[in-house]
Amino acid sequence: MPKKFWQFRNMAGGGAELLLYGDIADTSWWGDEVTPKQFAEDLDGLGAVSEIAVRINSGGGDVFAAQAIGNMLERNAAHVTAYIDGVCASAATIVACHCDKVIAANDSTYMIHPVKMGLFGYADAATLQQYIDAITTIRENIVTLYAKKTCREKDEVAGWMDATSWWTGPQAKENGFVDELTDNEEDAVVENRNGVLFVNSVSMGLPFDKAPKFVQDSLTAPAAGRPANTKPAGQPEKQQEVQDMDPKDIKTVDDLRKAYPALVDQIEQAAVAAATEAATNAERARIQSIEDMALPGSEALAAEAKFTKTMSAAEFAEAMVKNAKTQGATYLAQVQKDAQDSGVNGVTNTPPTDKTEGDAFIAAIKGVAPKS
């Protein structure tokens, strides 16, 4: 089961909401067919909705995932509006630019930057050139998308990308990436948690000291009675939730999801991850057990048990015993056939009929034997 980083919710009035908070995909969608299919199924599962609100607070992620999501939203019959609640950076801007309309909070942050690719291992000149060609193609696609959204020339947009541009909401609107500005009921909460930038309790995956000055300057002071945004060493971060209802009113899973959507999603993902890890460990143990008990001559049966007709170690042991019996019976039958075909069964131990020849032979031996 894919690890979902999105959340769809049907809303009153025939609309729906897509929540994109945090990284857009933990792993690349390049070569991944399962996760995009799951997103498409979730989108189709909304039915014939008239409006889709895409709420974004993301530092970016995988460009292929962002392009796929953006294109699926653009093809949808609903009117799609992107709401930038905190940060819209990197790949998240691709999703926003595919929407019919972009509305950003006045205190939101927008960022675009050059296309980058991580390299692992060794590569020759031809392979490196392929990487460069891929980056060039991806860059051209993004520049074209940005130019279409902003109605600016490609060269100007490309210059913004190459310079790594950070903008406030009003600046992003001035440059054409945002259509409208709005004042949130609450200002965006900017935090420095152990050196990592958090906006509205969501990690942006960026060192706080690498964020632009206007973002650092908007650091939210701890409220009265609330400790500073740090945690004891060795303890994991806990994502805070905005509670919209009294805890006493939470009676169902749906109620819990509405009050603490990110927490519920985190629990579900943790359960899926634990189940996946357990299944993987069990499968490894099964294969190892089969390999440990496999006997010479049972290689084909072992390979079949591991991969083709999967069976447990106990089932393999039973099958191996049956196979050994069959092989033994076949071997004995073949030995008997070979003996019959060779004629050895017709050979008998019949003593010579001419006793005279035998007596003469014995007498000759006695004649040459030494005498005492």
Please check the confidence at residue 91 and state whether its pLDDT lies above 70. yes
Name 181's bridge partners.
Answer: 104
For range 182-196, the mean pLDDT = 71
Name 203's bridge partners.
Answer: 198
Q: Which residue has the higher pLDDT, 51 or 221?
A: 51
Domain tally, the chain? 2
Is residue 112 a contact partner of residue 90, using CB atoms and an 8 Å limit? yes
In a domain, 331, yes or no: yes
Residues 174 and 59 in one domain: yes
184: CATH: 3.90.226.10
Cα separation values, 60 from 87, 168, 196, 204, 354, Å: 9, 17, 15, 8, 107
Please check the confidence at residue 159 and state whether its pLDDT lies above 90. yes
- pLDDT at residue 184, as a whole number: 60
118 falls in which pLDDT band (50, 70, 90)? confident
Q: Which residue has the higher pLDDT, 162 or 362?
A: 162
In the chain, % of residues over pLDDT 70: 63
In the chain, % of residues over pLDDT 90: 27
Residues 199 and 283 in one domain: no
Question: pLDDT for 207-259, tens place per residue?
Answer: 777 776 767 776 665 544 444 444 333 434 433 444 445 555 666 666 666 66
Query: What's at 334, amino acid-wise?
Result: Q
Determine the Cα–Cα distance for residues 262 and 242; give it in Å rounded to an integer: 10
Q: Which residue has the higher pLDDT, 14 or 88?
A: 88
Please check the confidence at residue 368 and state whether its pLDDT lies above 60. no
Cβ partners under 8 Å of residue 161, min gap 6? 112, 113, 114, 115, 139, 142, 143, 146
Q: What is the extent of the structural domain holding 213?
A: 7-113+164-226
Question: pLDDT for 318-348, tens place per residue?
Answer: 777 777 777 666 766 676 776 677 666 666 6
Is residue 87 a contact partner of residue 218, using CB atoms and an 8 Å limit? no
- pLDDT at residue 348, as a whole number: 61
Picking from 192, 211, 226, the residue at the C-terminal end of a domain is: 226
Q: Is the Cα torsion angle 214, 174, 203, 120 positive or negative in sign?
A: negative
Q: For 134-168, what is the HEC assignment?
A: HHHHHHHHHHHHHHHHHCCCHHHHHHHHHCCEEEE
- pLDDT at residue 156, as a whole number: 96
Of 43-47, 155-159, 235-239, 245-249, which gets the smallest average pLDDT? Answer: 235-239
Residue that is written with structure tokens 């005279």 in the block: 356
Strand boundaries in the chain, DSSP class E: 7-11, 15-21, 51-58, 79-89, 101-105, 109-112, 165-168, 180-182, 190-193, 196-199, 202-207
For range 75-79, the mean pLDDT = 93
Q: What's the pTM?
A: 0.53
Query: Angle CA(107)–CA(109)–CA(111) in degrees, nearest 5?
Result: 165
In a domain, 51, yes or no: yes
How does the average pLDDT of the chain come out, rounded?
76
Residues 65 and 206 in one domain: yes
- pLDDT at residue 228, as a whole number: 46
In a domain, 65, yes or no: yes
- pLDDT at residue 202, as a whole number: 63
Per the document, the length of the chain is: 372
Q: Which ranges constitute the DSSP H helices of 180-305?
A: 213-216, 253-259, 261-293, 299-303
In a domain, 360, yes or no: no
Among 112, 94, 216, smallest CA distance to 167 is for: 112
- pLDDT at residue 67, as a whole number: 92
- pLDDT at residue 243, as a whole number: 42
E strand or H helix that includes residue 43 = helix 34-44
Determine the Cα–Cα distance for residues 166 and 164; give it in Å rounded to an integer: 7
- pLDDT at residue 112, as a whole number: 95
Residues 172 and 307 in one domain: no
74 falls in which pLDDT band (50, 70, 90)? very high
For range 258-284, the mean pLDDT = 68
In a domain, 99, yes or no: yes
In a domain, 101, yes or no: yes
Residues 15 and 87 in one domain: yes
In a domain, 247, yes or no: no
- pLDDT at residue 247, as a whole number: 56
Residues 97 and 14 in one domain: yes
Residues 222 and 281 in one domain: no
- pLDDT at residue 364, as a whole number: 63
Please report how many Cα atoms fall inside a 13 Å half-sphere around the Cα of residue 220, on the Cβ side: 20
